[in-house]
Chains A and B, each alone.
Chain A
Amino acid sequence: ILNVEQSPQSLHVQEGDSTNFTCSFPSSNFYALHWYRWETAKSPEALFVMTLNGDEKKKGRISATLNTKEGYSYLYIKGSQPEDSATYLCAFLLLETSGSRLTFGEGTQLTVNP
């Protein structure tokens, strides 16, 4: 059974604060790591697909890093805004089942207070 863990489970920050979350995953048989942002009543929105150790990706104020050797990824949000409030999910793709199942963590629920 694959174990993908995210921390913290929830986070409350003030507008303008920078924040980061962690996703831990098995370091063996790594194929890809996906990050999604899911706002209530909307579709989960794809943020990044990360594949190589040392990958760093950026989309506006959001960036992510990947360490496949130790099995973790960080998601950073610079200068949080209320519209960043959402659940952030990471999902691991195992080499042996490439192209099929994503194994998700439980998510980090971010609330940004104005």
Chain B
Amino acid sequence: EPEVTQTPSHQVTQMGQEVILHCVPISNHLYFYWYRQILGQKVEFLVSFYNNEISEKSEIFDDQFSVERPDGSNFTLKIRSTKLEDSAMYFCASSLTVQETQYFGPGTRLLVL
């Protein structure tokens, strides 16, 4: 069964450094999403992406964040200058249409020191 994959599974970085989180959505899906979950807190929507542009974003997704689909298979989340509070599990998801079920990847655990 097709699945969403994410790399790396764990990432440790120093405050102020740039990180790029990688996702490979399900191949025929058209909508892509990033979510985050701070330890012990709710899963939070960050951004959705369709047709090579951001379709919606939350208040969390400020200028420090960017997303890109550099080729036909990858979907990346970049954090330009990481802060301690960016430490969280980051989930990528994809869906065939905007109405249908979103399929989530296993997540990347980011720790900012």
Please say whether chains A and B are actual partners in one complex: no
Residues of B within 8 A of A (CB): none
What is A's interface to B at a CB cutoff of 8 Å? Answer: none
